[in-house]
Amino acid sequence: MKTTTDTPVLETKDITKTFPGTLANSKVSIRLEQGEVLALLGENGAGKTTLMNIIYGLYDQDSGEIFLNGEPYNIRNPHDAIAAGIGMVHQHFMLVPVFTVLENIMLGAEVMKGPFLNKTQARQEILELSNRYGLEVDPDAVVEDLPVGIQQRVEILKALFRDVKILILDEPTAVLTPQEIQELFQIMRHLTESGVSIVFITHKLKEVLEIADRIVIMRRGEVVGEANPRQVSEHDLANLMVGREVSLVVDKSEAAPKGVQFEVKDLVVKDPMKGLAVNHVSFAVRAGEVLGIAGVQGNGQTELAEAMTGLRKHEGGTVWISGMETPQANPRALVEHGMAHIPEDRHKHGLILQYPLTDNFVLCTYYKEPYSKHGVRNKKAILTTAEELIKRFDVRTPSAFISAGDLSGGNQQKVIVARELSRDVSVVIANQPTRGLDVGSIEYIHKTLIRLRDEGAAVLVISSELDEIMSLSDRIAVMYRGEIVDVVDAKQTTREELGLLMAGSKS
């Protein structure tokens, strides 16, 4: 619903922001019109979130100006932004987990009765708002007990409670099912009809085309183009976003699968908060094929991956590699059995950031010869291996003694990939292997995974990016609420079918 007026509600002029070592925003100018959905499209690290954080007062820009309804407006902190009617739903929710919905919503905009909080009145106001916009939520529920979809509603309610005129949504769809995404779009339309203007940050092309009134594309901190969703194709957008011709499909030959090499039988993982996080899951991966596990974040994929790779105890079921049952919760035994694991969170699990690359390259094998003998480390042997891997996997680093934390995200992931895939492996478990990486690194990692498949490994890819799953996999298993709802042939399935499965409906 676009009502054109002469002055935009929000405008930035030549915003520049540098962080040590990176130019996050370079002379960025955008306009937001009254009542429109403006999509800000770009790869990870393109500077979208930085720009929004500047508008929201979380960062100070180095130079450039912000105008509200044509007037220059100096936003020094979120307080100023809120006062100006700007609300933001952050990618990582800004909710206090132990607070109730009510407390979270009123925090910072408390309804008072004399010196005391007036929870009764606040509750009423919240219920009114949630009725008006169809955002059903129990004000007295404790936030940490709520599913992410509902938490997002709380975030939107938080903004509405503050009477926003401009709403910034930062990657709001990452945690939602395709159906929930539709609901969110409904809410967004509802909001724009009542006069709210929305900035929608995303890197997903299809969503942009569906919901946006206008698209601004950012790359490497700069605005590289503007598009009308009715006049561009996904392909055009992708090229603009990346800055060169990209193929949206991974170049791979037909799989030639052999016997079953990795098998999970009846796996059960309990979660103290959620009950059964993994609910009697069974599947098998054959040597020479890629099995993708699709699903919306938070449907048990993390728990499944952790249980399979020994990071977490499971309450039932077994994991088999090459016909041998593996002991539970024992990552080392799995490594010895030939498993490689590219973990979901490379900073938490994959690397010890303070260690030099040398130690990180032998993180899982430091106890073996030649890296150590009788419990005493052999630093020379470790260095030799590190230097060889740096060359072979094209890790861009000045030396093997650099701390892992000093490398870029893409190079860090390469270190992990090099470490895991340079071993003699029969099973590869890659969990969100390309999250947060630039297109170049993504292509490299995809190629490496396919190469391993062709060399005869059983490859399991877990990803919440449907495009990644569809382009890498030979077969696709869909996870919903801790269960595998179906396993389909990647060549025959459609995005729509997968979407339905991800929402739990079995065809």
Partner 1 sequence: MEQKTPSKNNWLMTIWRTIRVPLLAILSALLVGAVILLVSGADPLKAYAALFKGAFGNANYLKRTLEKTTPLIFAGLSVTFAFKAGLFNIGAQGQLLMGAITAGFLGFAIKGLPPVLHIVLALLGGCAAGAFYGLIPGLLRSYSGAHEVITTIMLNYIAINLTDYLADGPWKDRSGTNVIARLPLIEDSARIPFFGPVPVGFIIAILIAFIIWYMLERTNFGFEINSVGLNSHASRYAGMKTKLLMTSALVVAGLLAGFGGSVETLGVVGRFQPGFNAGLGFDGITVALLGRSNPFGVILSSLLLGAMKGGANVMQFDAKVPHEIIDVIQSMMLFFVTADLVIRKLFRIIKDTGGEVTLTAGWGQK
Partner 2 sequence: MTVGVMNNGKIRRRPAWASPLIFGVIVIAVAVFSFMKNPSVTEAVMSAMIRFAVPLMLGALCGIYCERAGIVNIGIEGQMLLSAFTAYMTNVWTGNLILALLAGALTGALLGYFLAVISIKLKLNQIIGGTVINILAIGITGFFYQVGMTTKGKFGPIRLGPLAKIPLVGPVLFNNPPITYIAFLMVIISHIIFFHTRWGLRTRAVGEHPRAADTLGIDVFKTRYLNTIIGGALAGLAGAFLTLEGVGTFERNMTNGRGFIALAVMIFGKWNPIGSALAALLFGLANALQTQLQFMGINIPHQFIGMIPYALTIVVVSGFIGRSRPPAAEGTPYEKE
Q: Which residues bind partner 1 (CB under 8 A)?
A: 309-311, 330-333, 335, 341, 343, 348-355, 359, 363-364, 366-367, 372, 375-377, 383, 398-401
Binding site for partner 2 (CB under 8 A): 56, 58-59, 77-83, 88, 90, 94-100, 103-104, 106-110, 112, 115-117, 140-142, 145, 158, 273
Identify which of residues 229 and 409 has a Cβ nearer to partner 1 in the complex.
409
Identify which of residues 79 and 396 has a Cβ nearer to partner 2 in the complex.
79
Quick check: 89 and 169 in contact, CB under 8 A? yes
Partner whose footprint covers residue 377, from partner 2, partner 1, none (CB < 5 to 8 Å by kind): partner 1
Identify which of residues 158 and 419 has a Cβ nearer to partner 1 in the complex.
419
Secondary structure of residue 119 in the 3-state scheme: helix
Instruction: Please report how many Cα atoms fall inside a 13 Å half-sphere around the Cα of residue 108, on the Cβ side.
Output: 16
Partner whose footprint covers residue 348, from partner 1, partner 2, none (CB < 5 to 8 Å by kind): partner 1
Partner whose footprint covers residue 172, from partner 2, partner 1, none (CB < 5 to 8 Å by kind): none
Residue 189 C-beta: closest distance to partner 2, Å: 25
Identify which of residues 297 and 378 has a Cβ nearer to partner 1 in the complex.
378
**Gap between the Cα atoms of 317 and 489, Å rounded:** 25
CA–CA–CA angle 66, 23, 202 (5° rounding): 70
Partner whose footprint covers residue 439, from partner 1, partner 2, none (CB < 5 to 8 Å by kind): none
Residue 432 C-beta: closest distance to partner 2, Å: 23
Identify which of residues 198 and 340 has a Cβ nearer to partner 1 in the complex.
340
Residue 270 C-beta: closest distance to partner 1, Å: 18
Partner whose footprint covers residue 58, from partner 2, partner 1, none (CB < 5 to 8 Å by kind): partner 2
Sign for the CA dihedral angle at 147, 149, 155, 161 comes to negative
SS (H, E, C) 472-493: HCCEEEEEECCEEEEEEECCCC
Partner whose footprint covers residue 349, from partner 1, partner 2, none (CB < 5 to 8 Å by kind): partner 1
Residue 194 C-beta: closest distance to partner 2, Å: 23
Task: Kindly give the interhelix angle for 409-421 and 379-392, rounded to the nearest 10 degrees.
Answer: 110
First-to-last C-alpha distance (Å) of the chain: 35
Identify which of residues 80 and 438 has a Cβ nearer to partner 2 in the complex.
80
Partner whose footprint covers residue 97, from partner 1, partner 2, none (CB < 5 to 8 Å by kind): partner 2
Closest to 385 measured CA to CA, from 402, 405, 365: 365
Tokens at 226, concatenated: 């503007």
Q: Amino acid identity of 322?
A: S
Residue 350 C-beta: closest distance to partner 1, Å: 7
Beta bridge partners of 82: none
Residue 97 C-beta: closest distance to partner 2, Å: 7
Tokens at 412, concatenated: 């860090």
Partner whose footprint covers residue 103, from partner 1, partner 2, none (CB < 5 to 8 Å by kind): partner 2
Torsion of CA 352, 356, 358, 359, to 10 degrees: -40
Torsion of CA 38, 42, 45, 50, to 10 degrees: -10
Identify which of residues 331 and 456 has a Cβ nearer to partner 1 in the complex.
331
Phi, psi (5° rounding) for residue 390?
A: -60, -40
Secondary structure of residue 461 in the 3-state scheme: strand
